Structure 1
């Protein structure tokens, strides 16, 4: 039986905040209200970035909650999410990932060594021309290494509350896009499944 047929659909939204978490006015909090059954990855200490520890929190939630999931990460949460999904076993139940304003790995070198490798799931990376945490060229390069579609949001700062990103309908559009991208694979797997069982 395919893993998709065992799962619920559409995928459950999981937000992965960055340093200091995401407050009530943040777009991630708004996005959670747009999807039923949404979840948030929690960290033991939002003020102490730790790549391995934060990535493990992502893995733990994915393992604990019934999937599939679509992840929406921000800032250092993008690095933690990408790090968590480098192992195929943890990416298997993820339909897609939205990376928004990823923090520069160089700025967080003290939090653990980060290696950008191609992910095995569809992803979109949103960069900004005026992000103090990651130059646009760096965001574009990270997107290429991860195998993500890249979107330049223009003069958008760090794409957070301070930059005016509270309610953000485009974030929902990007998540919906990832869900629609994953849907054909799911239905194709389910269509093939009965024939496959006949030969067992």
Structure 2
């Protein structure tokens, strides 16, 4: 299969579960010609500052403009990174950010746990680059209203995807062709 070519390098920013073989981010990475990914952390897996440092380290390895592709807690990582650093970011696809004020189901670190690891307060000011927030109407980690508030605070464009759950393999995403379309839109 031919690789998808972008002018910018795409940096994949996974969520807390990091790299999952069947995840749309992993599959997208395999399709792209110019791509890097924030590697899994060896220690401090819940430490927000360590996650921000990992993003910055990867960006320092890239010459030229970048498109960020973040999912779940990866979106929160991008917001924290943007509050502390600058890099020529062409745009960001921010998919299904979780709400630190929601009650999450078992199997996820609790919002309280994340708060004690530096995730709160979440930066709410405008991001210094074009951003598309992909939202779900039935995400168990964030209501559409909460994601809409995040997108508004970040001065991002909200894209309502409908009933896509948390946009992960458990919700049936695997391959997500719209991710390629949105990356190409940001690359224009």
Q: TM-score, normalised by structure 1?
A: 0.80
The residue number in structure 2 matching 1:152 is 160
- Cα 1:45–1:78 change in 2 (3 A) is farther
Structure 2 residue 49 is matched with structure 1 residue 52: yes
Counting helix residues as a fraction of each chain, which structure ranks higher? 1
The residue number in structure 2 matching 1:164 is 172
Structure 2 residue 90 is matched with structure 1 residue 95: yes
Q: Is the 8 A contact 1:101 1:126 kept in 2?
A: yes
* Distance across 2 between alignment mates of 1:142 and 1:45: 29
Shift of 1:46: 8.0
Aligned residues: 170
- Cα 1:147–1:111 change in 2 (3 A) is same
How do 1:55-134 and structure 2 match up within 5 A?
55-87=52-84, 89-90=85-86, 92-106=87-101, 107=111, 108-112=114-118, 113=120, 114-134=122-142
TM-align CA RMSD: 1.7
Q: Deviations over 1:1-24 (max 9, x none)?
A: xxxxxxxx7001110000111311
User: Which ranges of structure 1 fall in alignment gaps of 5 or more residues?
Assistant: 1-8, 181-200
Q: Is the 8 A contact 1:43 1:54 kept in 2?
A: no
Runs of 4+ in 1 over 6 A off after TM superposition: none
Q: TM-score, normalised by structure 2?
A: 0.84
Pair member with larger Rg: 1
